[in-house]
């Protein structure tokens, strides 16, 4: 394995004092369950058939913004203090086991992502199978202004249901996120989780929400201690994704403070290193920090366990489920690692079981638009090795896709979707002379990633079945 290299050396800093100045978090007013308007919550999900109940609540109060104390350095040891106050009213979307005895004691609190100017529960959709089979509760908090006030936001989508919501701006998002957690864990009045006994709360954020969480961990977690662990999924380099009033004091490519007093698992896909330049934020693991990097995966995906073009098709592969990108989007099942990351973080917070160490994706030139070192097929070297990369039937990458001609000039996120290029039949025949050869190699790779705890058994079983049923080598 290639040795890890870093462009930034962390000094030895005392691990004491991260939680030394805690202050009580105000408990907001909770109302609901919310009804009316179109008769359903935005981004609703059919959980009833899964044994879950979905309800929507509003919570409101007075939130503070935060200002920096002293100079904020790249090491993330940031001191902050509350400043000012403003009224707010936002929503929380709750999905909980209908049978309270199924609850595993862990609440996942999702920072709803607003990159597309709407409140998106993107991590829930990648985790949902693991959430249901293990009995988690999930609560999405809409703490950023765009999700409410944008032309596509809640107030425009359903003014009858969401017309009373108000948001003073993202400068107040951190305190709104703290107060939402307080309302969940220590309810006063209405209990959104109907008396479920909560043992731990895990904060989760993806993409822009992940970058916001980095600032929250560095500046606010030491003051509040609301959350028991963090999953930071697909954060970006630079200093975007922070509240506007703090952006001028946030250094470029900030790290996560190594004296954080709760577990933090950062998960990065290959595509995040390309499109979001996240490799510039790499840091060594520490007592409460781990970083996983997944070769072959992208920020968004149309996943398949085995990537192939059925024999009857010779044109654009059917696994491309988007119409606004020029090339087929990434088909690697990065979601399987997301589920494993959730499970690993839960064990880490529950009983101290530390997650495995991930190898880093290998780099060629870090300043190039595509900094990744690649094999002869175009797949990334290093990192967590998905079977779809280790036993390839396609080039699956996080390289930036481009919009199709009819999507140019319109809002699209093709740069985050990666690409897929299936191998031709001659290449497949050279790699896998028969079906048994492919299945044997693929199953061995599945065994390896499951043994390393980067995949869980249900996903591994599905992948093995898909390999057996595939046409590769036939």
Q: Which domain holds residue 201?
A: 29-262
Tell me how many domains the chain contains: 1
Q: What is the pLDDT of residues 60-86, one digit of tens each?
A: 999 999 999 999 999 999 999 999 899
Identify whether 384 is part of a domain. no
Tell me: pLDDT of 409 over 90: no
Tell me: pLDDT of 3 over 90: no
Identify whether 359 is part of a domain. no
Q: What is the pLDDT of residues 93-116, one digit of tens each?
A: 999 999 999 999 999 999 999 999
Average pLDDT over residues 399-420: 83
Identify whether 434 is part of a domain. no
The mean of the pLDDT values for the chain is 92
Average pLDDT over residues 408-421: 84
Contact 72, 180 (CB under 8 A): no
Beta bridge partners of 385: 295
Identify whether 386 is part of a domain. no
Identify whether 285 is part of a domain. no
Cα–Cα dist 206/120, whole Å: 10
- 3-state class of 89 per DSSP? strand
Identify whether 368 is part of a domain. no
What pTM did the predictor assign? Answer: 0.93
- 3-state class of 110 per DSSP? strand
Identify whether 298 is part of a domain. no
Q: Which of 8-12, 56-60, 106-110, 183-187 has the lowest mean pLDDT?
A: 8-12
Identify whether 106 is part of a domain. yes
- 3-state class of 209 per DSSP? helix
Cα–Cα dist 411/444, whole Å: 42
Question: Residue 146: phi, psi to the nearest 5?
Answer: -60, -35
Q: What is the pLDDT of residues 316-339, one digit of tens each?
A: 555 565 568 889 999 999 999 999
Q: Which residues, in sequence order, are CB contacts of 261 under 8 Å at separation 6+?
A: 18, 19, 221, 222, 225, 288
Confidence of residue 241 (pLDDT cuts 50, 70, 90): confident
The residue among 378, 382, 375, 387 whose CA lies nearest residue 419 is: 378
């Amino acid at each position: 394995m290639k040795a890890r290299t870093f462009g930034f050396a962390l000094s030895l800093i005392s691990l004491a004092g991260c939680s030394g100045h805690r202050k009580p978090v105000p408990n907001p007013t909770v109302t609901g369950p919310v009804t009316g308007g179109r008769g359903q919550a935005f981004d609703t999900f059919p959980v009833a058939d899964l044994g879950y109940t979905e309800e929507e609540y509003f919570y409101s109060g007075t939130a503070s913004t935060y200002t920096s104390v002293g100079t904020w350095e790249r090491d993330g040891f940031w001191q902050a203090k509350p400043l000012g106050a403003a009224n707010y009213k936002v929503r929380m979307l709750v999905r909980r086991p209908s049978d309270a005895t199924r609850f595993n004691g862990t609440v996942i609190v999702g920072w709803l992502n607003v990159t597309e100017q709407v409140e998106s529960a993107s991590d829930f959709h990648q985790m949902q199978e693991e959430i249901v089979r293990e009995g988690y509760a999930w609560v999405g908090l809409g703490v950023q202004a765009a999700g409410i006030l944008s032309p596509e936001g809640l107030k425009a989508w359903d003014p009858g249901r969401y017309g009373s919501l108000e948001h003073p701006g993202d400068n107040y998002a951190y305190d709104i996120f703290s107060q939402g957690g307080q309302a969940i864990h220590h309810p006063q009045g209405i209990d959104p989780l109907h008396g479920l006994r909560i043992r731990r709360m895990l904060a989760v954020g993806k993409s822009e929400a992940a970058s916001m969480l980095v600032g929250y961990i560095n500046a606010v977690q030491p003051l509040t201690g609301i959350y028991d662990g963090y999953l930071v999924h697909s954060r970006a380099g630079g200093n975007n994704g922070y509240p506007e009033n703090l952006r001028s004091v946030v250094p470029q490519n900030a790290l996560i403070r190594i004296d954080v007093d709760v577990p933090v698992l950062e998960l990065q896909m290959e595509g995040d290193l390309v499109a979001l330049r996240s490799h510039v934020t790499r840091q060594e693991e520490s007592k409460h920090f781990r970083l996983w990097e997944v070769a072959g995966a992208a920020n968004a995906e149309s996943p398949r366990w085995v990537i192939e073009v059925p024999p009857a098709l010779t044109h654009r592969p059917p696994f491309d489920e988007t119409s606004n990108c020029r090339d087929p989007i990434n088909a690697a099942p990065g979601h399987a690692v997301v589920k494993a990351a959730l499970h690993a973080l839960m064990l880490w917070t529950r009983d101290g079981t530390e997650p495995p160490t991930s190898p880093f994706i290998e780099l060629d030139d870090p300043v190039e638009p595509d900094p990744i070192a690649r094999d002869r097929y175009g797949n990334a070297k290093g990192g967590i090795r998905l079977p779809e990369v280790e036993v390839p039937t396609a080039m699956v990458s996080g390289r930036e896709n481009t919009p199709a001609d009819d999507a140019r000039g319109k809002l699209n996120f093709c740069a985050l979707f990666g690409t897929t290029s299936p191998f031709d039949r001659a290449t497949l025949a050279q790699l896998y002379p028969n079906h048994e050869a492919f299945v044997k190699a693929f199953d061995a790779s599945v065994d390896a990633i499951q043994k390393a705890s980067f995949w869980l058994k249900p996903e591994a079983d599905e992948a093995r079945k898909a390999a057996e049923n595939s046409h590769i080598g036939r």
